Amino acid sequence: MTATATASTNAALSGDVRGLDALRGRAARDPQGAVREAARQFEALFMQELMKSLRATVGDGGVLDDGAGGELATSMLDQQYAGQLAGMRGGLAESIARQLERQMGIAGGAATLPPLHASTTSLRSLPPAAWPQGVGAAASARMPFGWQRPQPTGGVGDVGADAVAHPPRIPEQRAAFVQQHLAAARRAETQTGIPAAFMVAQAALESGWGRREIVHADGSPSHNLFGIKAGAGWDGPVAEVTTTEVEGGVARKVQARFRAYASHAESFADYARLLRGSPRYRELIGERSAEGFAQGLQRAGYATDPAYADKLGRTIDATLRLQQPQG
């Protein structure tokens, strides 16, 4: 396949359904090439679904997850990742192509797929600004969900084989977050009857697993893991920051005052007092169902995000898995 054809097909994989029409036309002229291209596209679709499932498993927390527009941007970004990674040597596309060639009686069924053209061999062509949160100067070699970014010291085939041999793992940082706050959450559980894992999950959702914790103007931590605002009845320290609120279905940036604490343990204790002392959250006391807890917070108006309950439910699932022994 020529470099131009490869680049064109990758563009189709990333977001142009007209590529299917081109593939049909090519099948009559070059059956073997069409089979291999179809295998690439199947692999791209599979990888896109895989990334979608992984994002649902580990919850939100990236720079592109702000509302419906952020979800669309994340979906488009995943399409680009899938289109760039599909067809690497040692990947799923080779197995699919060999099976299709055998079933169709096409000669050369044992042949391997040619490597991608140099212009589309890695995700280095994507701008760093478009990468998910955590990919920056301090972690420029990492990809979403713990994947390793392709390095110039290895070939494209090596990268593809490594991706198959080492599947994505839930970041260890999230497991550390759970362990760090589990003791404080268990103390809060004795006050509320709500499982500690549910409260750790909400702290993870509100703080981006500790990466987006509210800070003071001087950069010092507020230790506010639950996004609790400082209302008229709060006489303690505060942190004033810009946050996103959804009003009438429209997201907008507002300046808000949040409570500040001396430690994360104080944040959990104050959260427990809030749930016990506010009539809005009375129905949540003793709630042992993850869905009931998430939906109850949504109904009580804990957050303005209309998808808050769904996000919290996914984060609770991830937190419960992180508490299990890792094989």
pLDDT tens digits, one per residue of 119-136: 333 433 444 444 444 433
In a domain, residue 146? The reply is no
Tally of domains within the chain = 2
- Residues in CB range of 288: below 8 A, 6 or more apart: 193, 194, 195
pTM here is 0.50
| Closest among 120, 112, 117, 82 to 96, alpha carbons compared | 112
Per-residue confidence (pLDDT) for residue 14, from 0 to 100? 45
**pLDDT at position 71 over 50:** yes
- Only one residue has tokens 């439910």, namely 313
Catalytic residue among 189, 270, 287, 305: 270
Least confident of 42-46, 77-81, 134-138, 209-213: 134-138
**pLDDT at position 168 over 50:** no
Per-residue confidence (pLDDT) for residue 125, from 0 to 100? 40
Residues 208 and 262 in one domain: yes
Residues 102 and 193 in one domain: no
User: What CA–CA distance (Å, rounded) separates 243 from 269?
Assistant: 23
Residues 197 and 275 in one domain: yes
Catalytic residue among 21, 30, 245, 283: 245
CATH number at residue 307: 1.10.530.10
pLDDT tens digits, one per residue of 174-185: 999 999 999 999
In a domain, residue 148? The reply is no
Residues 176 and 122 in one domain: no
Least confident of 43-47, 83-87, 120-124, 279-283: 120-124
In a domain, residue 151? The reply is no
Residues 110 and 179 in one domain: no
Residues 234 and 300 in one domain: yes
Mean confidence (pLDDT) of the chain: 74
User: What CA–CA distance (Å, rounded) separates 156 from 94?
Assistant: 14
User: What CA–CA distance (Å, rounded) separates 52 from 81?
Assistant: 12
**pLDDT at position 238 over 70:** yes
**pLDDT at position 320 over 80:** yes
User: What CA–CA distance (Å, rounded) separates 269 from 175?
Assistant: 22
In a domain, residue 145? The reply is no
User: What CA–CA distance (Å, rounded) separates 150 from 159?
Assistant: 6
Return the bridge partners of 148, or none.
Answer: 142
Known active-site residue 287: no
Q: What tokens were used for 132?
A: 């998910």
Residues 184 and 238 in one domain: yes
Per-residue confidence (pLDDT) for residue 28, from 0 to 100? 66
Looking at per-residue confidence, does 186 or 4 come out higher? 186
Boundary residue ending a domain (145, 165, 185): 165
In a domain, residue 137? The reply is no
User: What CA–CA distance (Å, rounded) separates 113 from 315?
Assistant: 39
Known active-site residue 270: yes
Range of the domain at 16: 3-128+158-165
Residues 305 and 185 in one domain: yes
Residues 99 and 191 in one domain: no
In a domain, residue 48? The reply is yes
In a domain, residue 88? The reply is yes
Boundary residue ending a domain (147, 165, 183): 165
User: What CA–CA distance (Å, rounded) separates 318 from 181?
Assistant: 15
Apex 13 CA angle, 127 and 20, nearest 5: 155
Per-residue confidence (pLDDT) for residue 245, from 0 to 100? 83
Q: How many residues does the chain have?
A: 327
Q: What is the mean pLDDT of residues 263-290?
A: 96
Residues 90 and 216 in one domain: no
Residues 124 and 180 in one domain: no
In a domain, residue 85? The reply is yes
Pairing mode, strands 238-247 and 250-259: antiparallel
Residues 177 and 316 in one domain: yes
